[in-house]
Structure 1
Amino acid sequence: MVVSPSPGPVVVRVEDVTKQFIVRKDNTLKERVVHAGRRGRVHKQEYTAVSGVTLEIQAGTTVGLLGPNGSGKSTLLKLIGGIVSPTTGRVLTRGRMAALLELGAGFHPDLSGRENVYLNASIMGMSRAETTEKFDDILEFSGIGDFIDTQVKFYSSGMFVRLAFAVAVHTDPDVLLVDEVLAVGDEAFQRKCMARIARFRKEGRTIVLVSHSAAQVQELCDRGVVLKDGEMVFDGGVNDAVSALRDVLEGRRVGEKPPPEPEKPIEVTRIDVLDAEGKKRKTIPVGERMTIRVHVRAKQPMSTWATGFSIDTPMGQMVLASNTERLGIDLPAIPAGDSSMEFAIDSANFGAGQYFVNANVSEIIDIDTHVLMQGARFTVAGNDRNLGTVAATITAA
């Protein structure tokens, strides 16, 4: 995560904003005619997409909007961008705003890519002369090539995104709003977009990003806002925001600990992450040796016992797991009280980002097991040569 400069003045202020939509259950003209004048059955209902959100965003900050599907992220972004108006409350903004919210938004399918560049740029406040001056840069960034004079209705979804993003980032915006549409582009283009966003950050511009990728948010953002059912449930540091998102996805209130398990004869009490020198660390460089130390407490002496660990991404995807049984280790008898077991990982070839460590212990493997979830958290610091949860040496010929 890149540390951004000190925040400047407030450029976006959301004041107790609520947005409601009317959802109709009779979607065809025939159904509406049949149901006209009938009483009893309700054929439309109100849906609250955003509820009572208050938020301030300072100039020069990069904010990630997180939450499960249907939590109100995209609606909040549209409210900030002025695409939709709030039902109650108000949204105040300052400076030029560029919004990349939906695939092909602002594009006319019967116009060519070239014509749509001028149309889209004018919607975003650029004059024709400004667009002409930057046209070659827009074309080069998009990689559309000769398709620039083809009607955009023949474009693939990836071509749509590349051209739309190229226009958005060349409008010289003070505030850039980006929705999940970046996931449509290929990996090379995603890297180009992320590099441009990183450059905007260095230039002190403000970015509001909606993404389902916790790793992407951690790489680009310095602040995270988590939404659930239209309400803001967390606003703070990006790593803590990812943890809050995990709570929401697992059905807990933010910061709420999982319900206590029944007492076991042996339990995991703590997990430590150690570097190559055996020191506790919260950051591990890519590819270096690391050790997972699992602390356990036995309530009485045991002749047999087994333990293991797993490492997850913030979204709960397992990236590595093992245990003493898989490793063919028969542990010696354990006395009552505190003990520990270490698992050495010779090369921590995890991709850059944040990870959680879980551990388990039992008298006999998979029987009466005690599990400590998210007992430790660490960050892998790496380069930008590749994306994903695996760090591999890549060469191109």
Structure 2
Amino acid sequence: MTTVVQIEGLSKHFVLRKEKSLKERVVNFGRSRKHREDFWALRDIDLQIESGTTLGLIGPNGSGKSTLLKMVGGILQPDSGSVKIRGRLAALLELGAGFHPDLTGRENVYLNASILGLSRVQIDRYFDAIVDFSGIEAFIDTQVKFYSSGMYVRLAFAVAVHVDPDILLVDEVLAVGDEPFQRKCLERIREFQAEGRTIVMVTHGLDQVAEFCDRAVVLEKGRIVTDGTPREALRTLRADFEEVRQEEVERRQLAEEHTLNRAIARFTGISLATSSGVTSSAEIAPGEQLTVLMETFTSGEVTDFKIGVGIATPLGTVLWSTTTELLGDEVPPMRGTGMYQFALRDIPLTAGEYTIQTTLSGLDGREIHHVPAAAQFSVDDTLSSIGPVRLAASFDVRV
């Protein structure tokens, strides 16, 4: 397969100034570096993207996703390393990039398309299709400085997808469009995929990564931490998010323990029991019972709480959940080590892999401890339906 984007040893840093006012900046101008700090947006990035790939760049805010996309698009220059592009590239980066605010929509179509490499004759040929796709015919002769953010995106995307790009870069800009236009854009992306074009997208919509991408890269603090399938990447990212969230919960619990004299409680072990034994990763047959065994520990007495259990896909989509409160069960006060279990009978899931989620929370809704992937299990079933739910079905010919 042909490599269309080759990135080698790519690094980029920005200087963060610590002065809080213009006066401080003037006073400290030309002095020591103690008033400046180097922020490395990217560090030693090596990435190879093949033709026909749809690649998702994901990660927390400030991880370097947009910076990397801008460097691929030629907007930013690296401090070190190189980016090599093969083919025509169209980029949807910052809102309004490539548009002049004092020009009309019509004039900006010609400006933007010419920047992307089209001749005047080619733009004339595509112009009506671009305007029709954008859906802003009534405003095409209005200066774009009067456009809403959604109108900006409509026109920019319409131009980008009509310049016949080999590589399309998309940076979160579709988030500002309305739902019908987003659907239209995603349909066009599917057409590009079917035509074998290369797409690189930055998005916080993880469902879009799972649905559209065949490869995903997780960036963290300017470095690649995962490069693999969307499932692998999303698992890494969600684990990172959960780790940060859990640290915040634990900090809050510690504060409450000292200020409110409230005990800390948490899960210390989760396992699954089947007819084959007890394990943290089970395989069950359709209709087989699965028992979730829970062990907890508290630093003092905990009352007025509930325990929850749920089943989710490996990507984190919850398929089912319940709590002791919903089941009408009251949990006795918890002190020290506790042992609990949920018996899940006749699980109506089709063949596939699933995760068990567990939650401790107060009856007032306050979260105490949540484990999003406490254990894993798989269902071994013959393929008789599509989707996660297994239902009894039959077919007859009506006469």
**Bin of the TM-score, shorter chain as denominator length:** 0.7 to 0.9
State how far apart, in whole Å, the 2-side matches of 1:294 and 1:117 are. Answer: 61
TM superposition shift of 1:47: 1.3
- The answer to whether structure 1 residue 328 and structure 2 residue 320 are counterparts is no
Which of 134, 137, 159 is the matching residue for 1:145? 137
What is the letter of the counterpart of residue 129 of structure 1? Answer: V
Deviation track 1:252-282 (CA, whole Å, cap 9, x = no partner) reads 8xxxxxxxx8856x8555476979x538xxx
Query: Is residue 17–residue 89 contact of structure 1 (8 Å, CA) maintained in 2?
Result: yes
What is the letter of the counterpart of residue 310 of structure 1? Answer: G
Query: Is residue 281–residue 377 contact of structure 2 (8 Å, CA) maintained in 1?
Result: no
State how far apart, in whole Å, the 1-side matches of 2:294 and 2:44 are. Answer: 46
Query: Is residue 234–residue 244 contact of structure 1 (8 Å, CA) maintained in 2?
Result: yes
State how far apart, in whole Å, the 1-side matches of 2:94 and 2:107 are. Answer: 19
Decide which structure has the larger Cα Rg and report it.
2
Structure 1 segments unaligned to the other structure (5+ residues): 1-7, 253-260, 280-291, 300-305, 332-336, 349-353, 383-397
What is the letter of the counterpart of residue 343 of structure 2? Answer: M
- The answer to whether structure 1 residue 172 and structure 2 residue 164 are counterparts is yes
Name the counterpart of 2:213: 221
What is the letter of the counterpart of residue 296 of structure 1? Answer: L
State how far apart, in whole Å, the 2-side matches of 1:267 and 1:347 are. Answer: 20
Name the counterpart of 1:102: 94
- Range with bigger deviation, 20-29 or 149-158: 20-29
Name the counterpart of 2:155: 163
Structure 2 segments unaligned to the other structure (5+ residues): 245-265, 273-278, 297-305, 332-338, 380-384, 388-399
Which of 10, 16, 29 is the matching residue for 1:17? 10
- The alignment partner of 2:287 has SS state of coil
- Range with bigger deviation, 24-33 or 145-154: 24-33
Which of 274, 278, 283 is the matching residue for 2:287? 278
Name the counterpart of 2:182: 190
Which of 332, 337, 342 is the matching residue for 2:344? 342
State how far apart, in whole Å, the 2-side matches of 1:339 and 1:30 are. Answer: 64
What TM-score comes out, normalization by structure 2 length? 0.72
TM superposition shift of 1:314: 7.5
Name the counterpart of 2:391: none
CA 1:378–1:72 in structure 2 vs 1: closer, same or farther (change >3 Å)? farther
State how far apart, in whole Å, the 1-side matches of 2:325 and 2:26 are. Answer: 68
Query: Is residue 271–residue 294 contact of structure 1 (8 Å, CA) maintained in 2?
Result: no
Query: Is residue 268–residue 295 contact of structure 2 (8 Å, CA) maintained in 1?
Result: no
Larger fraction in helix? 2
TM superposition shift of 1:42: 3.0
- The answer to whether structure 1 residue 309 and structure 2 residue 290 are counterparts is no
Name the counterpart of 1:285: none
State how far apart, in whole Å, the 2-side matches of 1:153 and 1:44 are. Answer: 35
State how far apart, in whole Å, the 2-side matches of 1:226 and 1:296 are. Answer: 33
State how far apart, in whole Å, the 2-side matches of 1:307 and 1:31 are. Answer: 54
CA 1:267–1:360 in structure 2 vs 1: closer, same or farther (change >3 Å)? farther
Name the counterpart of 1:34: 27
TM superposition shift of 1:79: 1.1
State how far apart, in whole Å, the 2-side matches of 1:28 and 1:339 are. Answer: 59
Matches within 5 A, 1:1-397: 8-26=1-19, 30-37=23-30, 39-40=31-32, 42-251=34-243, 268=272, 269-270=279-280, 277-278=286-287, 293-296=290-293, 308-311=308-311, 321-328=321-328, 341-342=343-344, 356-359=355-358, 373-374=372-373, 375-376=375-376
TM superposition shift of 1:170: 0.6
Query: Is residue 99–residue 176 contact of structure 1 (8 Å, CA) maintained in 2?
Result: yes
Task: Among all aligned residue pairs of Structure 1 and Structure 2, give the percentage whose two residues are the same amino acid.
Answer: 51
What TM-score comes out, normalization by structure 1 length? 0.72
Query: Is residue 19–residue 49 contact of structure 1 (8 Å, CA) maintained in 2?
Result: yes
TM superposition shift of 1:33: 3.0
Query: Is residue 267–residue 371 contact of structure 1 (8 Å, CA) maintained in 2?
Result: no
- The alignment partner of 2:8 has SS state of strand
- The alignment partner of 1:118 has SS state of helix
- What is the aligned-residue RMSD (CA, Å)? 3.8
What is the letter of the counterpart of residue 71 of structure 2? Answer: L
